Amino acid sequence: MKTIKFILLSTALAVVIDVSAQYSYTFPYSTPNCNPVTVLSFIGTDYTTMQKNDLKNFWLNDYSYRITFEADATYTYNCHAYAWAGSTQVWMNKPEETKYWSDGSYILLPSSSTATKVWFGVNDHSAITTNTTNYFSSKWGPSPRFTHLINDCPYYDSNQITYYKKASPPPFYISITGNDWCNHGTIYTNSSGYASTNLYAYSPQSSPTSYVWTAGWDGICNSWSMMPYGNRVDITVTINSGQPGGTLDITCEMYNGSTFLGTTTYSLNVFP
């Protein structure tokens, strides 16, 4: 049975290689510390419904239904994108996943007890923890996504397993999503020369009750505006044809009542 499993995995991987031309480099993904991560967008033809069912049933039978089916087989995303980027829309090839801990965004743990991610080393696989002790969720290449025991999947090698959890964020930071804390980012104008985004101020270790926002523009644009709403600020920038854009430095001071807690600044690059 191991031989059949290896042949199927090899066949699936060979298919991925064959259709690599049907992937395009895509969206600006990054680690929580804002190091860029290269991901791919699938633009080819995915599995048929029959093929998806065949792959689902193959693996369920191969593991005697010890694993639990979560989601259909697809070339759209893989284990690393699912585990580290939290995405079911892109494909992430090795060694891009290693950036998540090499830049300090995630920290190595001695066991799975407080982990949120697990890496299978040279076997090129990643998984996330679940609410059930010792059970993990992972996408098996282009095959389906399953819940399984750590040693009950095609990628297991006890000598290769490492566990990680997200590092603690700084005491004060500004972010678009809350999942990154590098305090800088880039947006681009649309065909009309207009760009907008929302930013949020966070203080995980304290409880601000009020926020004071200020900003300053460095560059050339037609206009920019900032509208604060508590811990959120809405940014709009208009850049006319021929103008290069620039950087908007946005600062937020956080208070609890009249007590000053801290401050942080976010540098937002805006380009045509």
Domains of the chain by start residue, with CATH: 19-166 (no CATH), 173-271 (2.60.40.10)
pLDDT digits (tens, 9 = 90+) for 131-173: 999 999 999 999 999 999 999 999 999 899 999 999 998 999 9
pLDDT attached to residue 27: 63
Asked if 149 contacts 138 with a C-beta cutoff of 8 angstroms, the reply is no
pLDDT digits (tens, 9 = 90+) for 65-81: 999 999 999 999 999 99
Asked if 89 contacts 77 with a C-beta cutoff of 8 angstroms, the reply is yes
CA gap 162, 143 in Å, rounded = 23
pLDDT digits (tens, 9 = 90+) for 76-113: 999 999 999 999 999 999 999 999 999 999 999 999 99
**Does residue 10 register a pLDDT over 70?**
no
Query: Residue 24 — very low, low, confident or very high, per pLDDT cuts 50/70/90?
Result: confident
Phi, psi (rounded to 5 degrees) for 50: -65, -45
CA gap 3, 96 in Å, rounded = 29
pLDDT digits (tens, 9 = 90+) for 110-122: 999 999 999 999 9
